[in-house]
Amino acid sequence: MAKISVFRYDPELDSAGYFDEFDVPYRSGMTVLEALLHILEHEDGSLGFRYACRSAVCGSCAMHINGRYRLACATQVSDLGDRVVVRPLYHLPVIRDLVVDMTGFFQKYERIRPWLLNETPLGDEERRQSPEERARLDNLVECILCACCHASCPFTHTDPEYLGPALLLKLDRFYADSRDLATADRIAAADDEHGVWRCHTAYNCVEVCPKDLNPTASIARLKGAAIKRRFTGRAE
């Protein structure tokens, strides 16, 4: 049996959160997501949590598991010791149990305009990139917007308007794209009171990212571009 302790909170019924304990029949290779699905199907059909792909691709099963932000579908119960403790992501309002409200996160995501900004008429052509230009997007396009890094960052809590590591990495992804022509706008979005200067380089985001990405490096790159623009007036 695996002992699973799960955070519970229903704002319509509970004045505060609490933990429920479950004994789940263990089988080799079981993930935390599978343990939660067992609880849902056999113990308590009211348990709230999100998942979709079960393959570490959609980012929806991000949770705080045994002291660390992780994807439940990519975390083996056998790697967690005698007891598994599951909580929702921090720094996002809890809707119910393990389900957090991502509305504010995705509103800020829209603010960075996460699409190519390029008014050049296309005609019948494609917007081509050289292999070198495409290689600049490696370790940027892989972000699955799971918000593990957002939850781990102390400054997404103190400034709810702070873009945070995930969205600054996304901003860097478009800043780095040779097909995007809004370089000055991208830098201005980073060089904002709720942008890169809120980051104090604590590296929590790098430590937790399940895709091994490096939001802190993106923030450093955008800080460099912002300083250059302030001193030289050039956006590059």
Chain positions contacting ligand SF4, by CB under 6 A: 143-149, 152-153, 155, 165-166, 169, 199-205, 208-209, 211, 213, 215-216, 219
* Tokens encoding 224: 């460099």
Other residues' Cβ atoms within 10 Å of the Cβ of residue 57:
14
Which of 170, 50, 174, 45 lies closest to 102, judged by CA? Answer: 50
* Structural Rg of the chain based on CA atoms: 20
H or E stretch at 99: strand 99-100
Integer Cα distance of 36 and 219 in angstroms: 35
| Backbone torsions φ then ψ of 64, nearest 5 degrees | -95, 110
Of the two residues 103 and 118, which places its CB atom closer to ligand SF4 in the complex? 103
Residue of 30, 56, 184, 220 interacting with ligand FES (CB under 6 A): 56
* Tokens encoding 205: 């985001």
- DSSP letter for each residue of 169-183: HHHHHHHT-TT---H
Residue of 23, 27, 52, 79 interacting with ligand FES (CB under 6 A): 52
Of the two residues 56 and 181, which places its CB atom closer to ligand FES in the complex? 56
Of the two residues 72 and 169, which places its CB atom closer to ligand SF4 in the complex? 169
Q: Is residue 60 a contact residue for ligand FES (CB under 6 A)?
A: yes
Residue 71's binding partner among ligand FES, ligand SF4, none (Cβ under 5 to 8 angstroms by kind) is ligand FES
One character per residue 11-50, x = contact with ligand FES (rule: CB under 6 A): ----------------------------------------
| Backbone torsions φ then ψ of 22, nearest 5 degrees | -135, 145
Size of the site for ligand FES (CB under 6 A): 12
By the criterion CB under 6 A, which residues form the site for ligand FES?
51-54, 56-61, 71, 73
